[in-house]
């Protein structure tokens, strides 16, 4: 089976961790925590901005946001690699679940939870 981009990224990150002897600390638990820590760092850039300001970041701020988004992806891909999860397949499966929970004809234009549709 050909390797997809996320699997290739996972292999690069695995090598990066191995070169630094980080496999011991890169447990699923620690990686799950790291995802949330990095998501918090990402969120911090948006704290106190108006909705409008959040959509037009200054170049330096945008670069910082980009780096935090990369951190989130990196730790999520490492977590998936550690647990043997195919992220693209998992995302496709979740989209299918969401499509059943939120039929377009019922959910269009409505921002409510599926059990309130």
Report residue 17 CA to chain centroid gap: 19
- Structural contact between residues 106 and 113, judged by C-beta atoms closer than 8 angstroms: no
Task: Give the C-alpha separation, 94 to 68, whole Å.
Answer: 24
N-term to C-term CA, the chain: 40
Rule CB under 5 A: say whether 86 interacts with Mg ion: no
How many Å is the Cα radius of gyration of the chain? Answer: 18
Stretch that binds Mg ion, among 54-62, 67-75, 77-85, 97-105 (CB under 5 A): 67-75
Per CB under 5 A, the list member of 32, 71, 102, 107 interacting with Mg ion is 71
- Between 68 and 86, whose beta carbon lies closer to Mg ion? 68
Stretch that binds Mg ion, among 15-23, 39-47, 88-96, 108-116 (CB under 5 A): 39-47
Per CB under 5 A, the list member of 6, 17, 41, 69 interacting with Mg ion is 41
Q: Please give the residue ranges that form the binding site for Mg ion (CB under 5 A).
A: 38, 41, 68, 71
């Amino acid at each position: 089976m050909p390797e997809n981009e996320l699997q290739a990224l996972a292999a690069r990150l695995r090598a990066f961790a191995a070169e630094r002897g980080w496999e011991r600390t890169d447990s699923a638990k620690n990686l799950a925590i790291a995802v949330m820590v990095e998501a918090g760092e990402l969120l911090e850039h948006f704290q106190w901005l108006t909705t409008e300001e959040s959509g037009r970041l200054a170049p330096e701020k945008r670069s910082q946001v980009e780096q935090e988004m990369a951190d989130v992806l990196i730790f999520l891909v490492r977590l998936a690699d550690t647990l043997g999860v195919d992220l693209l397949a998992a995302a496709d499966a979740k989209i299918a679940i969401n499509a059943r929970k939120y039929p377009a004809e019922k959910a269009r234009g409505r921002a409510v939870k599926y059990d309130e549709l």
